[in-house]
């Protein structure tokens, strides 16, 4: 069996970890490397979380340090939801962590720590550029965090956009909703300039927005209990590291559960049949400071007469996602 080659770019928090686990557990996929970017947690914590995930899977995966801040913005650690919400309301140009969502360590603060803290000496950008050049049109790129590393790699060598087989982006929304502000999803909001650069680069992109996660990858009591009933270390890991997110979901929405934006993106990268509806559309990124900073403006009616640069997933198969997740954590 010929394996599909993946590179994953992540800001590894609790949902990224599940997505990475899915790829590492899929026998049809070879994960060549994971590049780490600041986002949910600072980049160095993201490396630790990636190593913890690989260790759970019993896999040695090459992990590369990437950007520790966005292209043009300062990056601040904030730990509580109150601090986070106050910052957003100031309309500051600074970006902040999502530790109020995923825990201070990004993994639910349940004490997960890898035995091995070693990562590759080569930086993420050089690794990306060299690997795509050495394997033209052979590698799928899956991005689970802010697009800073990818923008920097394209800036260093613009030709790689024609050498990446396809890029699946967890970011933005297809319906104008947001999870940071009324209009913006977190990954794009953190570094909108990087997102604009990548979306306009000519790279073949499928965007799996947060709206798909909230609609089609929300796990509630039944789904969580079904996973725990598997009694595998993989299923337990995937649920247990969501502790902070479960608490936040209950406080925000009044029910016990959590959504999985990065895992549904990974599921689609693993199996395009999980896409129910999608459209090739012109997508713009709002880079202005203000309430719409980081919005993915999806031009359904081509009002801007722009290039249809992104395949936008508008509907996904909830049961198909759950079935694949279950299969990979058994």
Paired residues of 278 in beta bridges? 313
DSSP secondary structure, 259-273, as one string = E-HHHHHHHHHH-GG
Provide the whole-model pTM. 0.97
Helix (H) or strand (E) holding 34: strand 29-36
| End-to-end CA gap in the chain | 21
3-class SS of residue 200? coil
pLDDT for the residue numbered 89: 92
Token pair for residue 84? 């986070």
- pLDDT tens-place string over residues 221-272: 999 999 999 999 999 999 999 999 999 999 988 999 999 999 999 999 999 9
**Domain extents for the chain?**
4-329
For residue 221, what pLDDT is reported? 94
Q: How far is CA 22 from each of CA 27, 134, 185, rounded to the nearest angstrom?
A: 10, 25, 23
Note the pLDDT of residue 1: 73
DSSP code, position 187: H
Q: What is the pLDDT of residue 261?
A: 98
Q: Which of 225, 247, 240, 258 is nearest to 326 (CA)?
A: 225
Tell the residue number behind the tokens 């613009």, with chain if given. 158
pLDDT tens column, 139-195: 999 999 999 999 999 999 999 999 999 999 999 999 999 999 999 999 999 999 999
Res 258: pLDDT: 96
Look up the CATH superfamily of 4-329: Ribonucleoside hydrolase-like (3.90.245.10)
The reported pLDDT for the residue numbered 175 is 95
Q: Are 314 and 277 in contact (CB under 8 A)?
A: yes
Q: What is the pLDDT of residues 259-313, one digit of tens each?
A: 999 999 999 999 999 999 999 999 999 999 999 999 999 999 999 999 999 999 9
């Amino acid at each position: 069996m010929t394996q599909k080659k993946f590179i994953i770019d992540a800001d590894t928090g609790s949902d990224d970890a599940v997505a990475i686990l899915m790829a590492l557990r899929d026998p049809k996929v070879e994960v060549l490397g994971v590049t780490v970017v600041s986002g949910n947690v600072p980049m160095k914590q993201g490396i630790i979380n990636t190593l913890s995930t690989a260790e759970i899977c019993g896999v040695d995966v090459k992990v590369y340090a990437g950007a520790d801040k966005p292209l043009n913005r300062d990056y601040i650690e904030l730990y509580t939801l109150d601090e986070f919400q106050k910052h957003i309301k100031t309309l500051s140009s600074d970006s902040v962590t999502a530790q109020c969502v995923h825990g201070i360590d990004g993994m639910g603060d349940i004490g997960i720590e890898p035995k091995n803290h070693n990562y590759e000496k080569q930086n993420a950008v050089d690794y990306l550029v060299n690997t795509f050049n050495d394997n033209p049109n052979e590698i799928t790129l899956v991005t689970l965090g802010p697009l800073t590393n990818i923008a920097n790699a394209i800036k260093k060598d613009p030709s790689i956009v024609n050498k990446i087989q396809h890029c699946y982006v967890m970011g933005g929304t297809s319906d104008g909703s947001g999870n940071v502000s009324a209009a913006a999803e977190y990954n794009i909001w953190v570094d909108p300039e990087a997102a604009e650069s990548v979306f306009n680069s000519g790279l073949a992109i499928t965007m799996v927005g947060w709206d798909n996660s909230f609609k089609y990858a929300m796990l509630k009591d039944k789904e969580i209990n079904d996973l725990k009933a598997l009694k595998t270390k993989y299923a337990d890991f995937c649920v247990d590291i969501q502790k902070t997110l479960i608490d936040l979901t209950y406080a925000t929405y009044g029910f016990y559960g959590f959504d999985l934006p990065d895992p549904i993106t990974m599921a689609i990268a693993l199996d395009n049949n999980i896409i129910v509806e999608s459209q090739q559309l012109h997508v713009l990124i709002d880079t202005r400071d203000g309430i719409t900073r980081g919005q993915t403006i999806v031009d359904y009616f081509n009002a801007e007469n722009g290039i249809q640069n992104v395949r936008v997933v508008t509907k996904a198969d909830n049961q198909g996602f759950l079935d694949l997740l279950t299969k990979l954590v058994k």
